Every structure is written in structure tokens, then in C-alpha cells.
């Protein structure tokens, strides 16, 4: 029965706000002064002006002072701050002031970097803003038309159409639905999709007729009236109570269990916490060693604090934020790749397995009907199913297969039927059914079913059981030739008023096959070859027939090996599936759950996994991957869940994103390698000299000023350009291997420092008996900054041997650092820091030590593996 249309504008518009969920449909329409035909554009404009945009309440932009305060929560900064407080307690004011300066500089740089990254990210997110399909009219007498408008422009009273994959854009009261199920874990925490259907007079606690903002359409279609927008929605209320975040963690059905650690968490965070533990035990060790061997007490506490500070890579948060934000901005400007979560760029650089669906990535999105292999009768009935499912279910647009069917069929014949009901396609059932009434056929309904060959044939009735096997063999042969088949069947049923369900798709009469050609994507071959050159293995997870998927892989030069069907993985435990996934290239006939299990198994096997998907059936796999990637034209919910959004569904763009991720990761690795190896060498030398010399080898203020200069120079690493040869493998920082390899560089630096002590003892004969502490301090300060400048140039990731004399940011910074090391002790600041000038003979001797150090550094690096280039292979 048609719903009454109260006719908007017949009385003054009501105040816009939430509508009681237990009202009848007619009461709801009257309360909102709307009808099934939708609002006029003028009325919608007036309501938008009154109610405001359909956006959730957001906190005010975080100011720079607040960001500065929050930066103190960083573990390294917090440890530094505590060390500064300890220095102040023991009245080591010079040490405390320099530590405070380090904290202020680090927090200021980080706050500024995060502020710029957030502003850039907000601009990028606007590029992928969602839209909604609404029914509106130009005037009160005009016919309603379906229009795509920005979600922000929705107002109460709008009539919205929902299709599979759509995010529910506001709170809706359903007036029509066809097989509609909604995933609303973000609100309720329930993992299973909830069925939704219109209810004219619902109970007070019934929500089956309501779709809430923040949920997504899992299957089916529906039409609803917007009853609440923005701050008035249920989602805004849940988010305001703090329940939203917990519920979102349950969106994949795992409840409150934490997600597996990402590549970023396993690398940068792993190294950070290892260093923090080492820093915390350093001061007590220094104090105990000096007390035992030199009889010194708390007077060495400032020195112990300075040693701990020397181990701290306090600029790590600044370098990480700067590298990732800069890489994301360059990707967006140059290649249309939008990084929605900054750490995902690091994870892209670590990806060594990329899982993709076949359609739209390896092949084009638009299949074409092959008339030579298609039964004309089957084509007609398939088009009937496509057209009337589209109309009866009020889907906004056909999918690519339906579009190909409608292009190839005679629409005049197709439109002679009358629609009754529809069961839209869903990825688990793999069928779509239209229920129609044939012209002149009273008392009967006709079910027209199309879908995957196995699913349709299983539901058909055959006089000869061998016919079923014959059809399946025919389909397998066609799939082996790279042809996609759609099976079509029909069934007559007595007419009835109640709706149809999947249980009615039984006892069908088989009509034939419709064949499609999937042309390879234009850039697929080059992209796959480029990814292989980058050390990324492409695996195909598809719902297609095994032979079809294998044929497409062979055409692209990918050896499919033995294809595994999704059903074969059902009985495997996680470890067995991980071993199978590691050696399998193609998984066919995959359900959404199958795809997610394969992705999770690959991660269990030690791989860093990216997944490229664009449909509702790809959601579990997108969430299970280290990096979820979605094209801009993917369904709303997939795009919203993805970490990275592509302008086009093109593997070439993935290659550019992988390069950018490796570039950023390489620069982060450069900073870690340079600062940790240099700092470790200095700390070893400080501890040794502190135990051997009758005075402190370097005053705490000198240690901290040197650290501040080194940190400032290393900011240039965020703008470095690694050699392309260093980006040919996934960049995974494995904490234990990384820290172990740095020990050699640290010991080598300590040897250079100890050799410098010997030179100073010869140049300044009174050094070892308290004769010339200022000269010793000046000599080691200069040597420290010069060796650190060398380390910056020689331990960069894949440093370019062909740079020639081209000035680069790192070269300029290293030169400035070396100049500070030479000039500062000779300047008026030198005596203030406890340093004095040195004899001229010291400088050529120091140059010889530095030359030997540089040669040893280069030789050691050539012999040691590159920890940032190790893939996470087991």
C-alpha cells in the first residue's frame, strides 16, 4: 500500500530534532512535514540553515599550547623531564637548564609538526567525503528525482536510499526494505549484521525499523526518512558517552580484544621501549661504578643523568611525524594517494605481500558479455533479474555485471514484467533474485535467479542427476579459458502477499549460462612486474572460479601454482593455514571470512600484509591487514575503514605508495642508526673515561649542549633522499636485530673516542693529573661533534654515492655541526661551558683519527647487514 504524502509545506515546518522511535510511519511523516516523494530543494535549504550541517560534534581544533603539553606524554620526553627534575633536586642547575631546553625544543618541534600534519590530513579527508542518495524535487509539483548530495547536506525529512556497502548517513526510519541487514557493531558491539525492515507501529524498545548513523549496509537495500542528523543522532550520543571507541574495536567481531600489532608498533615502538629500559638503569650503574672504583658519591649524579640523556633519541617523535607527514603530502599531490592514518605510510614501506581481488585490480571493472558463449534465453532472464532487482530493491546503481547484462539485452522485452519483490545479491549467498509477474499470468509469481554457477546449479531440479555434473564440468572448462560464467534459472510460485526469502530459491529450472570477458587492466602487467622488483609478492584472493583466476594470473606473468579454494581452508587451524598461505598465490571462491583468515594467516607467518579491496565483501580483510587500501570509488564503508585511499583502483598507485613508505621509513631508520650508534659510542667512552680519569671526562652541561647541537642537525634527515637501490626491499625495523647491529658501530665510535683521549694526553701532558681539564673537555667536545657529522654522512640509509658535490640538506647540516664543534670552544661561549683553546698540533692529529674512523666505519658497514632492509620472512 502506498504511504500517504502529507505534502511538505502544507503547514509551518516543525522544529527539527529527533523523532520518537515508537511512532507510526504516518506520525513520523507528519512530525517531519515530509512524505515518500521527498523534500523540495527550497525546503531542504531552509532546514539546513536551521538545523546546521549533518556533522558530528567535534572538539575544537587543538591549539599549539595544548599540543605542546601533550607532547610531554611521549615516553622519551617524560624520561628526560624526570631526569631534569632529579638534576634540579641535587642543585645541578646547569644540567637541569640544558635538559629543560632539550625538552622545550623537542616538544615545540613535535607540536608544530603534528599541527601541520593534522591540517594537511583534514584537507585530504575532504577529498574523500561521502555522499548520500536522496529523493528530492525542484518544486512542490515536480516529480522526485534521485540525487547524490554530500552527507553534510542531509536534513530531517530527507528520503534516503541505501545500498550494499553504504554508510548510513543519518538516523533513518525505514519505509521500505528488501533483504536489508545492517552492521551496527560501532553502536552495539554485536558482530552479526542486524536484519532491518519497516514496522508501522513498533514497540517502544523495537529498533528493527531504525537504521542509525555510524552503521553500514551489509546486504539488501532500503529507503528511509531522515529523523535525526548531527548531534541529535544515536551515534553522537554513544560517542559522547565514550562507548563508541570500545564498540568500534568490536566491529570485526572480535569484541574488545586488541588488534594485532602493526609493523609500525613492532618496529619503532619496540626500539623505543628497549631504549627506555636501558636509559632507566644507566644512572644507577654509573653511580655504583664511580662509588666502587673512585669513591665518588652523589656529586656524580649530574654526570650519570647526562649519560642517560646521551642515550635518548629525544627527536624520534619529531622525525617520525615529519617524515610521515611529508611523505603523505607528496603522495597526495603527486599520485592522488590519500593516507588517512600516518603510521600506515610506514607500514606500506614494510609490506612484502599485497593481497588483491582479481576484478578491478588485475582486470578491468567493466566485464563484457561474450555473445558466442552466451545462451540468448539465459541473457534475457539474467537481464530481467538485474533490471527488476535494481528497481524493486531501489538500488542506486547497477553493479558492473548487471550493467553489462543490461547493455547486451533487449530492454523493451525486459520492461514488460511487473515487479513484486527482490532479494539483492550478497557475497555469502552469491545469488540475486527478482520476483516478477509475467504479462497476463494471474495468480503466479516468477522467481528469476542468477548468480555463481555452483550456487544456482545446486538449487536446480534435474530429471537426470548427471546433468548437474555435466553443467559444472562445462563451467570449469569455460573458466579454464578465462571466461566468467553466470548461471540463470527460474521458478513459478503461487502468488502471495508475504515477502520472499532465500529459502524460496529452491526447485529451480535451469536456463543456461551468460559468459563474460574480463579484459586485463591496462597497467596491471607493468604494475605487477614493478611490485616484484620492489620485493612485494602479489597474492590473489577472489570469489571467482579457480580456473578463471589462474588464467588471469598467467596472462600477467604470475605463476598461479596450485589454486586453493576457500572451502579447503575451513578445517585448517591457524598455523596450518599460515603455512598454506605462504606458499599459495591464488585463493579462489573465497567468502569474506576466507579472505580475512588468509590475510591474518600471512601476518602470523611473519609477513607484513597489505590488502586492496573496494566492496562490502572486502571489509573483514581490510581490517585484518597491516594496511587496508581502497580506491576512491569503493563503497563508503570500505573507504571509511581503509588506511589508504587511491584516486583510482590501479596497482601502479600502490607501487608509488610503497616507494613513499620506504622513503619515509628509510629516513626514520637513518635517524635511529645514526643517533643510537653515535650516542652508544659516546656513552661507552664516558663510562670508561669516568672510571679511568681523576675528573669527569665531560661536564654535564657540555654533554647536553653537544646533544642539542646533534639533535638539531639530524632534523635534516627528514628531508633526505635515499638511494633508489636502498628502496628495493621492504623496510622493516626489527628491534633486536637492529640494536644488535648498532653495537658494532657504537664500539667503533668508542674506540675513536679513546684514541682521541690518547692524543689529548700527549698534546696536553698535564691532563691525566688534573692539569688541564678545560683543554681535555674542549678536545673531546670537538672530536665528538666531528665524528657525529661523519656518522650523519656515512650511516644514512643507502647514501648516494653519485651525489658528487651537490649540496643536500644532510650535507649542509653535517657541515654546520662540524663548524660548531671547531668554533664553539674558541668562542666566548667556550669558557662559560668550561672549555678553552687547543694547541694547533691537536687538529692534524685529530684529522688522522677521523680519517681512520671514517675508513673503519665504511668497512664495517659493508660487512654488516642492513637491518632496516630485512624483510619479515621467518
Catalytic residues: 357
One-character DSSP codes across 254-308: -TTPPPPPPHHIIIIIHHHHHHHHHHHHHHHHHHHHHHHHH---GGGHHHHHHHH
Residue 278 CA to residue 684 CA, distance in Å, equals 13
Neighbours of 70 (CB within 10 A): 14
Neighbours of 291 (CB within 10 A): 13
CA–CA–CA angle 368, 373, 376 (5° rounding): 85
Pairing label, strands 609-612, 353-356: parallel
Residue 494 CA to residue 534 CA, distance in Å, equals 60
Cα–Cα nearest to 424, from 382, 386, 379, 453: 386
- DSSP secondary structure code for residue 508 in this structure: B
- Phi and psi at residue 215, in whole multiples of 5°? -95, 175
Residue 622 CA to residue 612 CA, distance in Å, equals 7
Q: Which residues pair with 359 in a beta bridge?
A: 363
Is the CA virtual torsion 565, 567, 572, 573 positive or negative? positive
Kindly give the residue spans of alpha helices, DSSP state H, lying in 33-188: 41-51, 64-71, 75-89, 93-126, 185-188
Residue 528 CA to residue 556 CA, distance in Å, equals 8
CB burial of 163-174 (b: ≥16 within 10 Å; e: otherwise) equals bbbbbbbbbbbb
Residue 433 CA to residue 450 CA, distance in Å, equals 7
Residue found by looking up cell 600484509 in the block? 609
Total residue length of the chain: 874
- DSSP secondary structure code for residue 535 in this structure: T
Neighbours of 277 (CB within 10 A): 9
C-beta separation of 230 from 55 below 8 A: yes
Cα–Cα nearest to 318, from 117, 523, 39: 117
CA–CA–CA angle 806, 809, 815 (5° rounding): 85
Residue 588 CA to residue 430 CA, distance in Å, equals 14
Cα–Cα nearest to 329, from 664, 588, 769: 664
Kindly give the residue spans of alpha helices, DSSP state H, lying in 336-375: 343-350
**Half-sphere exposure for 610 (CA within 13 Å, toward CB):** 28
Q: Can you read off the three cell numbers belonging to residue 362?
A: 588485475
- DSSP secondary structure code for residue 598 in this structure: H
CA–CA–CA angle 281, 285, 287 (5° rounding): 125
C-beta separation of 622 from 356 below 8 A: no
Cβ-based burial of 777 (10 A; exposed 0-12, middle 13-18, buried ≥19): buried
Q: How far is CA 186 from CA 250, 642, 719, 809, in A?
A: 7, 16, 39, 46
Residue 133 CA to residue 313 CA, distance in Å, equals 51
Cα–Cα nearest to 454, from 591, 555, 618: 591
Amino acid at each position: 500500500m502506498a504511504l500517504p504524502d502529507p505534502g511538505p509545506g502544507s503547514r509551518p515546518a516543525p522544529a527539527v530534532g529527533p523523532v520518537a522511535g515508537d511512532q507510526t510511519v504516518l506520525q513520523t511523516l507528519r512530525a517531519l512535514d515530509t512524505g515518500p516523494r521527498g523534500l523540495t530543494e527550497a525546503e531542504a535549504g531552509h532546514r539546513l540553515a536551521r538545523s546546521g550541517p549533518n556533522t558530528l560534534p567535534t572538539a575544537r581544533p587543538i591549539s599549539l599550547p595544548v599540543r605542546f603539553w601533550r607532547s610531554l606524554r611521549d615516553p622519551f620526553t617524560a624520561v628526560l623531564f624526570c631526569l631534569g627534575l632529579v638534576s634540579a633536586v641535587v642543585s645541578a642547575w646547569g644540567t637541569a637548564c640544558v635538559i629543560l631546553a632539550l625538552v622545550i625544543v623537542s616538544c615545540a618541534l613535535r607540536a608544530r609538526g603534528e599541527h601541520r600534519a593534522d591540517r594537511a590530513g583534514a584537507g585530504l579527508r575532504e577529498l574523500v567525503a561521502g555522499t548520500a542518495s536522496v529523493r528530492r524535487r525542484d518544486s512542490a509539483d515536480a516529480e522526485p528525482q534521485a540525487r547524490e548530495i554530500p552527507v553534510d547536506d542531509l536534513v530531517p525529512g530527507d528520503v534516503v536510499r541505501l545500498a550494499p556497502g553504504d554508510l548510513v548517513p543519518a538516523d533513518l526510519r525505514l519505509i521500505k526494505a528488501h533483504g536489508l541487514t545492517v552492521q551496527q557493531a560501532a553502536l552495539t558491539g554485536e558482530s552479526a549484521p542486524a536484519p532491518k525492515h519497516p514496522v508501522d507501529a513498533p514497540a517502544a524498545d523495537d529498533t528493527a525499523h531504525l537504521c542509525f548513523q555510524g552503521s553500514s549496509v551489509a546486504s539488501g537495500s532500503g529507503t528511509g526518512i531522515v529523523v535525526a542528523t548531527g548531534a541529535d543522532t544515536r551515534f553522537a550520543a554513544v560517542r559522547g558517552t565514550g562507548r563508541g571507541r570500545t564498540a568500534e574495536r568490536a566491529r570485526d567481531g572480535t569484541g574488545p580484544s586488541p588488534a594485532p600489532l602493526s609493523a609500525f608498533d613492532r618496529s619503532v615502538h619496540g626500539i623505543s621501549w628497549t631504549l627506555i629500559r636501558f636509559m632507566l638503569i644507566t644512572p644507577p650503574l654509573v653511580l655504583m661504578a664511580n662509588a666502587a672504583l673512585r669513591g665518588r658519591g652523589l656529586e656524580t649524579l649530574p654526570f650519570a643523568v647526562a649519560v642517560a640523556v646521551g642515550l635518548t633519541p629525544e627527536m624520534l617523535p619529531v622525525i617520525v611525524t615529519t617524515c610521515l607527514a611529508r611523505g603523505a603530502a607528496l603522495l597526495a599531490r603527486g599520485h592522488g594517494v590519500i593516507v588517512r592514518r600516518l603510521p600506515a605510510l610506514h607500514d606500506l614501506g614494510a609490506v612484502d605481500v599485497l593481497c588483491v581481488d582479481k576484478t578491478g585490480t588485475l582486470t578491468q571493472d567493466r566485464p563484457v558479455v561474450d555473445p558466442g558463449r552466451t545462451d540468448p534465453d539465459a541473457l534475457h532472464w539474467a537481464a530481467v533479474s538485474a533490471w527488476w532487482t535494481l528497481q524493486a530493491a531501489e538500488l542506486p546503481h547497477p553493479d558492473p555485471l548487471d550493467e553489462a547484462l543490461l547493455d547486451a539485452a533487449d530492454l523493451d522485452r525486459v520492461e514488460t514484467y511487473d515487479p513484486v519483490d527482490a532479494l539483492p545479491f550478497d557475497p555469502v549467498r552469491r545469488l540475486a533474485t527478482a520476483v516478477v509477474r509475467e504479462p497476463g499470468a494471474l495468480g503466479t509469481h516468477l522467481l528469476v535467479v542468477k548468480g555463481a554457477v555452483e550456487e544456482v546449479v545446486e538449487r536446480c531440479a534435474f530429471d537426470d542427476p548427471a546433468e548437474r555434473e555435466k553443467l559444472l564440468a562445462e563451467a570449469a572448462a569455460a573458466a579454464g579459458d578465462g571466461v566468467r560464467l553466470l548461471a540463470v534459472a527460474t521458478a513459478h510460485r503461487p502468488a502471495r502477499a508475504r515477502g520472499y526469502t532465500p529459502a524460496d530459491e529452491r526447485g529451480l529450472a535451469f536456463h543456461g549460462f551468460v559468459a563474460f570477458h574480463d579484459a586485463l587492466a591496462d597497467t596491471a602487467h607493468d604494475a605487477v612486474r614493478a611490485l616484484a622488483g620492489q620485493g612485494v609478492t602479489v597474492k590473489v584472493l577472489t570469489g571467482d572460479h579457480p580456473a578463471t583466476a589462474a588464467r588471469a594470473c598467467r596472462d600477467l606473468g604470475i605463476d598461479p601454482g596450485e589454486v586453493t579454494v576457500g572451502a579447503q581452508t575451513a578445517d585448517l587451524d591457524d598455523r596450518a593455514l599460515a603455512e598454506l598461505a605462504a606458499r599459495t598465490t591464488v585463493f579462489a571462491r573465497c567468502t569474506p571470512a576466507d579472505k580475512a583468515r588468509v590475510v591474518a594467516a600471512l601476518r602470523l607467518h611473519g609477513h607484513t600484509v597489505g590488502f586492496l579491496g573496494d566492496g562490502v565483501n572486502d571489509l573483514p580483510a581490510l581490517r585484518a591487514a597491516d594496511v587496508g587500501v581502497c580506491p576512491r570509488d569503493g563503497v563508503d564503508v570500505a573507504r571509511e575503514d581503509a588506511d589508504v585511499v587511491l584516486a583510482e583502483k590501479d596497482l601502479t598507485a600502490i607501487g608509488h605508495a610503497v616507494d613513499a613508505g620506504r622513503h619515509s621509513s628509510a629516513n626514520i631508520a637513518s635517524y635511529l642508526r645514526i643517533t643510537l650508534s653515535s650516542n652508544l659510542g659516546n656513552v661507552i667512552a664516558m663510562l670508561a673515561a669516568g672510571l679511568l680519569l681523576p675528573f669527569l671526562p665531560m661536564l654535564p652541561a657540555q654533554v647536553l649542549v653537544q646533544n642539542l647541537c646533534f639533535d638539531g642537525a639530524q632534523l635534516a634527515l627528514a628531508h633526505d633522499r635515499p638511494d633508489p637501490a636502498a628502496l628495493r626491499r621492504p623496510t622493516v625495523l626489527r628491534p633486536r636485530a637492529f640494536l644488535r647491529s648498532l653495537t658494532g658501530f657504537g664500539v667503533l665510535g668508542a674506540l675513536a673516542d679513546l684514541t682521541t683521549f690518547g692524543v689529548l694526553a700527549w698534546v696536553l701532558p698535564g691532563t691525566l693529573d688534573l692539569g688541564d681539564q678545560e683543554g681535555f673537555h674542549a678536545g673531546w667536545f670537538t672530536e665528538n661533534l666531528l665524528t657525529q657529522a661523519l656518522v650523519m654522512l656515512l650511516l644514512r640509509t643507502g647514501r648516494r654515492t653519485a651525489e658528487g658535490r651537490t649540496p643536500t640538506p644532510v650535507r649542509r647540516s653535517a657541515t654546520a655541526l662540524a663548524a660548531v664543534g671547531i668554533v664553539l670552544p674558541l668562542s666566548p661561549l667556550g669558557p662559560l661551558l668550561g672549555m678553552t683553546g687547543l694547541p694547533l698540533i691537536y687538529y692534524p692529529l685529530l684529522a688522522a683519527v677521523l680519517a681512520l674512523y671514517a675508513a673503519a666505519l665504511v668497512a664495517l658497514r659493508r660487512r654488516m647487514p642492513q637491518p632496516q632492509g630485512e624483510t619479515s620472512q621467518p
